[in-house]
Amino acid sequence: MAMVDQAPLLQVENLSFRYRDRPDYAIREITFNIKPGEVLLLAGPSGCGKTTLARCINGLIPRSYKGEMSGRVLLRGQDTAGMSLAQISQNVGTVLQDPERQILGTKVINEVAFGLENLGLPREEILARADAAMEHLGISGLHDRDTFNLSGGEKQKVALAGVLAMEPGLLLLDEPLASLDPASGLEALALIRNLADDGMAILIIEHRVEDVLKVSPDWGLFMMGGEIQYDGSAAGLAEAVDYREVKLPAQIVLERAAVDPSPVRLEPLLGKAKADSEPLVQFDHVSFSYEQGSEVLHDISLAINPGDVIAILGPNGAGKTTLVKQAIGLLKPKSGEVLVGGRDTHDLSVAEIASTLGYVFQSPSHMLFAPSVSAELAFGPNNLGHPPEEIKKEVQEAIDIMNLSGMEEDPPLALSFGQQKRVSIGAVLAMRSKILVMDEPTAGQDYKNYMDFMDSILLLPSFDAILFITHDIDLAVVYANRVIVIDHGRVVGDGRPQDVLSDYEILESSRLVPTSLLDVNLEMFDRTQCFMRAEALAHFPSNI
């Protein structure tokens, strides 16, 4: 490890902030520091103040977000209150939860070079640093690609490359793993550890605590309700937090859940595919390419059947979202056909398909526009012509399921990313489409929130099938009755979770990393004959 200066690079002292027009403080009396070469993991439930804290550190508060602020943020001993945003950005590099909000350039190389150009560096140095950052992240092949056509994970890597090229003293990462496939996530974490070992200070805000613990962060903070509840070693964090609130390694959950009452077993209305029924959606030899690019989907044939709960897995850029957009009519096949309810999507409008398939975009900023959460949730049912009394019930049900109570009159785009994601899912739930399609539903969500809303969604009687695109293998383990793996635009795996996810050759080639929960489920499968969450495995008869 490189020798580093032991003076704190970042000091946060008694920091509190309340947003303008909000009655309560978002963060209260926050104090900690980070030295060069240290990695700090900050965890906590969605909406607890993590992103607000990040905005105070990178100077967006109070410059872009107004409100009442007290306490101090010091960078290299200098109070940021007396620094310009440009000065702060040269010391603090930020990667946002939603890369859509960060990417401005139309070409990848232009985006990665953008910050360096603003520093007025020589062209040769700009290109060398931009190329080096892309090579670090394994995205040199994206050099001349249009940013608009990148996958969410590819956009996340491009945003990170642009920040790394700036060579900041402090790297602030807000949910850096949210859009990355598992292998890319581990590679990014290894890179982060190397950067810290070379002297960079790093603050990671992340719900995927189990993954971050693999690279031995120097210590951890846990926030609840705008306050720090735990400040200590990262290993101690896993012991201090509630295993029902934070996703922890399966063995830790097994040990702690075994001494608690057995969880109530849920019997979802979905989950058992119905034999001899007509497919809801049929892909017949579907291929697709974007106008300027090579083929993205290659000769895909599959059916979505009543009762299916499908997890779509695969590496960044594999074509997962492109595949789903064929079903909802946003994209049309270049060859082959997609049938929805027996009708070719070429003959259907997106609005006509919406009554059958409700789609939750990966980025909530692509969906949200209404002045309030209630208006956002009511928009779809209104457009589909639902009766007013039904709309009222549908909106309230979505509020309850997605834990949005108290936010009904808030503007959706003023909420945290995780809260926005819940609003976008709620907006589709309220439409009562026959098939629910969610792109990365757990992005920005704490463990308890997404387990609660997934449990509730699968208990709803209104859906004939559910699809979710995810990089969270454990989501497939717990909820799916069918797993489809897409790689390089082809279906490389399609079947029961226990069959597809036990094929480690498929997992490795598709950049999917087995999790501790998958491992323990496979070990116990001869006895359980089904996949379970860790809390249930802890109380399985032969495990007591």
Ranges in the chain, pLDDT < 70: 1-5, 264-276, 291-293, 542-544
pLDDT score for 271: 54
183 within a domain of the structure (yes/no): yes
- Domain shared by 241 and 347, yes or no: no
- Domain shared by 298 and 349, yes or no: yes
pLDDT score for 228: 96
- Where in 190-331 does DSSP place strands (E)? 201-205, 219-224, 227-232, 281-289, 295-304, 309-313
- Domain shared by 304 and 227, yes or no: no
Q: Into how many domains does the chain fold?
A: 2
pLDDT digits (tens, 9 = 90+) for 76-120: 999 999 999 989 988 999 988 777 778 888 899 999 999 999 888
pLDDT score for 134: 93
pLDDT score for 446: 85
pLDDT score for 3: 44
335 within a domain of the structure (yes/no): yes
The answer to whether 318 and 510 are in contact (CB under 8 A) is yes
249 within a domain of the structure (yes/no): yes
The answer to whether 489 and 286 are in contact (CB under 8 A) is no
233 within a domain of the structure (yes/no): yes
Q: How far apart are CA 306 and CA 348, in angstroms?
A: 21
CATH number of the domain to which 393 belongs: 3.40.50.300
The gap from C-alpha 197 to its chain's centroid, in whole angstroms, comes to 27
Phi, psi of 334 (to 5 degrees): -80, -30
Of the candidates 531, 528, 423, the one whose C-alpha atom is nearest the C-alpha of residue 473 is: 531
Q: Judging by DSSP bridges, how do beta strands 201-205 and 170-174 pair with one another?
A: parallel
The gap from C-alpha 45 to its chain's centroid, in whole angstroms, comes to 14
pLDDT score for 22: 84
The answer to whether 458 and 466 are in contact (CB under 8 A) is yes
- Domain shared by 235 and 93, yes or no: yes
- Domain shared by 430 and 285, yes or no: yes
- Domain shared by 78 and 191, yes or no: yes
Parent domain of 488 = 281-506
- Domain shared by 313 and 189, yes or no: no
- Domain shared by 297 and 238, yes or no: no
Q: How far apart are CA 296 and CA 287, in angstroms?
A: 7
210 within a domain of the structure (yes/no): yes
157 within a domain of the structure (yes/no): no
- Domain shared by 402 and 488, yes or no: yes
* 124 Cβ contact list (under 8 Å, min separation 6): none
Q: Hey, what are 160's tokens? A: 């990170």
